[in-house]
Amino acid sequence: MSPASKASGNPSIWDALREETPLQIVGATNAYHALLAQQAGFRAIYLSGAGVANASFGLPDLAMTTLDNVLEDARRILGAVTLPLLVDVDTGFGGPLMIERAIGLLDDTGVAAIHMEDQVAEKRCGHRPGKVLVETAEMLERLRAAQAGRRRKEFAIMARTDAVAVEGLPAAIERSLAYIDAGADMIFAEALTSPEDFRAFTQAVPVPVLANLTEFGKTPITSVDAMREVGVKLLLYPLSAFRAASLAAQRVFEAIRQEGSQESVLESMQARAELYQVLRYHEFEERLNAHLGNDK
């Protein structure tokens, strides 16, 4: 199914997928990184649960943040860019009525798509050990609640399955087919470990499949062309920029503290002129001057 796009506002994830397949979706933990992603030419962006927890609250990704936390970051990002935003809603933030409410609020905010997973509420990172899944019937209930909360038909509901690492590939495919029957528009196949597994998965699953190409995880770093060959339609890079920015910040802090100045790390910094270009600083400054009568 490929619903029609919105009449106004940001394009849908379906629009982006028609323009680019596989669709590269990069994570942005804040509005400024979203602007950089848009400037780089990406057609879709992502807000991860780990990104909200790590970047906004300094917490691990262990179900310690709330719907309101996610909504606030989503609103800030959508206020800055004109790209479809995929949002991680973990296990839905509660029971069926809460899931229904969460999806409605995210849809109203302008989010283009969400993914919801089949772990228990006390979820783990998808590339960590110790994951525990709910029964298929409970995940189907979550998906039905998500559909009840959806306002717009082009709002995409993606079901994430963590079953490959827990129950094996055949069980993950079986679960995914049930999730599609329950209304999932797309499937997020988490923690697959080879292109062959992705090929088997995409051949068995009749909706667009997403591969999580996160760094330092169970899925090997793989090129767009290689993923295209095995039938994957969406490629996710959830925290790549955040990891790079965090290492850069760490090195800058250490240099200033240990060397007494930032001179040795200046070349690794974005220049003021580049920052202003991304933010359209001079355009806004001219508008401010006009308001204040200082444009003469």
Report yes or no on 137 lying in a domain: yes
pLDDT band at 1 (very low <50, low <70, confident <90, very high): very low
Report yes or no on 3 lying in a domain: no
Closest alpha carbon to 132 in 162, 96, 95, 91: 162
Residue 5: pLDDT over 70: no
Report yes or no on 251 lying in a domain: no
pLDDT tens column, 149-198: 999 999 999 999 999 999 999 999 999 999 999 999 999 999 999 999 99
Please give the residue range of the domain that contains residue 280: 264-295
Q: What is the pLDDT of residue 10?
A: 80
Residue 4: pLDDT over 50: no
Shared-domain flag, residues 273 and 188? no
Mean pLDDT, rounded, for 107-134: 94
pLDDT band at 7 (very low <50, low <70, confident <90, very high): very low
pTM over 0.85: yes
pLDDT tens column, 214-265: 999 999 999 999 999 999 999 999 999 999 999 999 999 999 999 999 999 9
Mean pLDDT, rounded, for 271-282: 96
Q: What pairing do the DSSP bridges indicate for beta strands 209-212 and 113-117?
A: unpaired
Shared-domain flag, residues 212 and 280? no
- Residue 212 backbone phi and psi in degrees, to 5: -90, 105
Shared-domain flag, residues 165 and 26? yes
Shared-domain flag, residues 289 and 158? no
Residue 6: pLDDT over 70: no
Shared-domain flag, residues 52 and 126? yes
Shared-domain flag, residues 289 and 188? no
Q: What is the pLDDT of residue 295?
A: 65
Shared-domain flag, residues 75 and 125? yes
Mean pLDDT, rounded, for 121-148: 95
Shared-domain flag, residues 287 and 215? no
Mean pLDDT, rounded, for 33-40: 98
pLDDT band at 284 (very low <50, low <70, confident <90, very high): very high
Shared-domain flag, residues 39 and 149? yes
The CA distance from 101 to 41, in Å, is 33
Report yes or no on 252 lying in a domain: no
Report yes or no on 121 lying in a domain: yes
Report yes or no on 148 lying in a domain: yes
Cα torsion 125, 162, 216, 85: sign = negative
Q: Residue 37 contacts by C-beta under 8 Å, 6 or more apart in sequence?
A: 26, 28, 45, 81, 83, 241
CA distances from 95 to 142, 147, 165, 182 (A): 8, 14, 25, 17
One-letter amino acid identity for 40? Answer: A
Q: What is the pLDDT of residue 48?
A: 97
CATH of the domain at 233: 3.20.20.60
Q: Is the peptide bond before 22 cis (omega within 30 degrees of 0)?
A: yes
Mean pLDDT, rounded, for 121-136: 92
User: Could you tell me what percent of the chain has a pLDDT over 90?
Assistant: 93
For 140-195, the DSSP string reads HHHHHHHHHH--STTSEEEEEE-HHHHH-HHHHHHHHHHHHHTT-SEEEETT--SH
The CA distance from 5 to 152, in Å, is 10
Q: What is the torsion angle, in degrees rounded to the nearest 10, for the CA atoms of residue 218, residue 112, residue 41 and residue 274?
A: -100
Shared-domain flag, residues 218 and 271? no
Report yes or no on 1 lying in a domain: no
Residue 3: pLDDT over 70: no
Shared-domain flag, residues 164 and 223? yes
Shared-domain flag, residues 279 and 220? no
- Residue 256 backbone phi and psi in degrees, to 5: -60, -45
Total number of domains in the chain: 2
Mean pLDDT, rounded, for 9-21: 93
Q: What is the pLDDT of residue 102?
A: 98
Q: % helix / strand / coil in the chain, to the nearest 5?
A: 50, 15, 40
Which are the catalytic amino acids? 46, 61, 88, 90, 115, 117, 125, 160, 190, 212
Q: What is the pLDDT of residue 296?
A: 56
Report yes or no on 69 lying in a domain: yes
Mean pLDDT, rounded, for 200-209: 98
Q: What is the pLDDT of residue 229?
A: 98
